[in-house]
Amino acid sequence: MEVNIHEAKTHLSRLLERVALGEEIIIAKAGTPVAKLVPLKKTPKKRVFGSAKGEFTVPDDFNDPDPDIEDLFYNGPLLPK
């Protein structure tokens, strides 16, 4: 969407609502684009190593093969039906 400077000043809050929904707005002066309103990318939360310590335990058989999956892999159909 492209708007002129006067419209941008008059309806800034409405334009920002549209930008928050993901739309990009071009602001033009005398028909020439001079600025772009774009949504900010959300910054991911900082990860803290070991923050889940004690919340779960990894079972001893975690890396053991799954017989059902092995059966499908070795004895299943070659191509899907």
What are the residue ranges spanned by the domains of the chain?
2-37
Task: Give 12-42 pLDDT, tens digit per residue.
Answer: 999 999 999 999 999 999 999 999 999 998 8
Q: Is the pLDDT at 80 greater than 90, yes or no?
A: no
What pTM, to 2 d.p., does this model score? 0.52
Q: What percent of the chain has pLDDT over 90?
A: 64
E strand or H helix at 10:
helix 5-10
